[in-house]
Amino acid sequence: KQEVTQIPAALSVPEGENLVLNCSFTDSAIYNLQWFRQDPGKGLTSLLLIQSSQREQTSGRLNASLDKSSGRSTLYIAASQPGDSATYLCAVNWTGGGNKLTFGTGTQLKVEL
Amino acid sequence: GAVVSQHPSRVICKSGTSVKIECRSLDFQATTMFWYRQFPKQSLMLMATSNEGSKATYEQGVEKDKFLINHASLTLSTLTVTSAHPEDSSFYICSARDWGGWYRGNEQFFGPGTRLTVL
């Protein structure tokens, strides 16, 4: 079964700290992987999209990596800020899956002053 | 660019009534749209895939007669929750894929969501 898991479920860090969020997937046959941010009661904001042929993508203080062989992706957030507090979701678009996304369980991040 | 809207953003209805939610791609054409449901403290679960001009494809366990999907144009898909009950209360989110999506790596763009509360 194709599944996506995110650990930890919740994370609290002091402001300024660099942090890594983890995403694991059970099938290496992926087309691409997206990282999203969701604020409470809101929709999704796309952060980064990594194609299966890519190893990483960067946007500002965010860097996402992809290792298909180990079934892992990480989202690195540099110099965290209180405004980064949100739930972060990764989603996998499986090869031959009709572009349907399978979402991970999410990591709820709180950056404290 | 790549903006997706949903209407309404929030709806409260009585049990037994039907509710229609609209999903629009504002600046691109979407041959495919997806409908997700999210319960509190949980992740998004795909309900169905909506293809312009054809019948929607529903995920296992999703009642197609209860959740009616219509994708009549390249910019609009609607989800109608028929005979809604309190257990249908949830956050419904749509996403859209640009018809030229392979240029953009098949990225999906998400709407802001609709909060449905059934009394």
In chain A, the residue whose alpha carbon lies closest to the alpha carbon of B104 is: A49
pLDDT at B100: 62
Is A64 near chain B, with CB under 8 Å? no
CA distance B65 to B105: 33
Eight-class DSSP state of B59:
P
Task: Walk along chain B (119 residues) in steps of 10 and give the mean pLDDT of each run.
Answer: 90 97 91 91 91 89 94 92 96 85 69 96
CB B76, CB B24: distance < 8 Å: yes
- Please write the tens of the pLDDT for every residue from A16-35: 999 999 999 999 999 999 99
Closest approach of chain B CAs to the CA of A84, in angstroms? 18
Per-residue CA distances from A13 to A51, A82, A99, B119 (Å): 30, 9, 34, 39
pLDDT at B31: 82
Helices (H) and strands (E) in chain B, counts: 0, 11
pLDDT at B64: 93
- Please write the tens of the pLDDT for every residue from A30-84: 999 999 999 988 889 999 999 999 999 999 999 999 999 999 999 999 999 999 9
pLDDT at A18: 97
CB contact under 8 A, A46 and B107: yes
DSSP string computed for chain A: ---EEEE-SEEEEETT--EEEEEEES-S-EEEEEEEEE-TT--EEEEEEEETT-SEEEETTEEEEEETTTTEEEEEE-S--GGG-EEEEEEEEETTSTT-EEE---EEEEEE-
The structure tokens listed for B3 are: 């903006």
Q: Which of B5, B36, B37, B44 to mutate to test the interface with A (most CBs of A within 10 A)?
A: B44
CB B8, CB B114: distance < 8 Å: yes
pLDDT at B99: 63
- Please write the tens of the pLDDT for every residue from B84-116: 999 999 999 999 987 665 555 567 889 999 999
Q: How many other CB atoms are found less than 10 A from the CB of residue B51?
A: 17
